[in-house]
Amino acid sequence: MYSLIQKILYYFFKLFFRYEIIGAENIPVSGGAIIAANHISLWDPPVVGAGTIRPIHFMAKEELFAVPLLKWIITKINAFPVRRGAADRTAIRYAIDLLKKGEILGLFPEGTRSKTGLLGKPEPGIAMIALKAGVPIIPAAIIGTNKIGKDGHILPKFIIKYGKPIIVAEGKADKEMMEKLGATIMQEISFLLK
């Protein structure tokens, strides 16, 4: 089901939004990794997911799982629930387990969509998960998804750029390490957005 939906989305984005993928070779062909992208639109998770050969798992706010049909759909495309506003230990543990099993996890470091399109501050969760799992982080820049219907853009071009992996060694996730890694992630995403 995942691969079918992924192919449909890929061709839909190509046809209507001139979808362009840059740097897909930076995504490891095996092993756990985190794709860390800016978040500017509801279109972002499918844009990231359609741009990779490997399946991606995403955290999604738990409220989405309260609607039975929506829960069925998002579960089929590898989403799992997270409680927002507090550290959700169950979701964090699940994310770390996925990474240690060699899966890819898609995360938005800011934790929420940017209303302005500008990068915000990273939440500590992404750095903590990466440090506890000891997996690389692939920074990603999403461009164009927030322009639909704005400034005369009916069908803007969607671009996803994947940067070089940030190598993360498994280790202690103390506040200083998490802040440093979070800043590095946002800096790399910022470079890709230029």
What pTM was estimated for this model as a whole?
Answer: 0.92
pLDDT digits 0-9 by tens, 136-151: 999 999 999 999 988 7
* Beta carbons of 162 and 22 less than 8 angstroms apart: yes
Q: Average pLDDT for residues 75-86, to the nearest whole number? A: 86
pLDDT at 155 over 80: yes
Domains of the chain: 2-193 (3.40.1130.10)
What single-letter DSSP state applies at residue 143? E
Q: Average pLDDT for residues 43-56, to the nearest whole number? A: 92
Q: 120 is written with which tokens?
A: 């915000």
pLDDT digits 0-9 by tens, 8-33: 999 999 999 999 999 999 999 999 99
Mean pLDDT of the chain: 93
Q: 78 is written with which tokens?
A: 């590898």
Q: Please name which of 30, 26, 61 lies closest in space to residue 160, comparing C-alpha atoms.
A: 26
pLDDT at 158: 97
pLDDT at 42 over 80: yes
Element (H, E) at 20: strand 20-22
pLDDT digits 0-9 by tens, 113-127: 898 889 999 998 999
| Rounded CA separation 33/59 (Å) | 14
Element (H, E) at 142: strand 137-143
Per-residue confidence at 111, pLDDT binned at 50, 70, 90?
confident
CA Rg value for the chain: 16
Q: Which residue has the tokens 């070779």?
A: 25
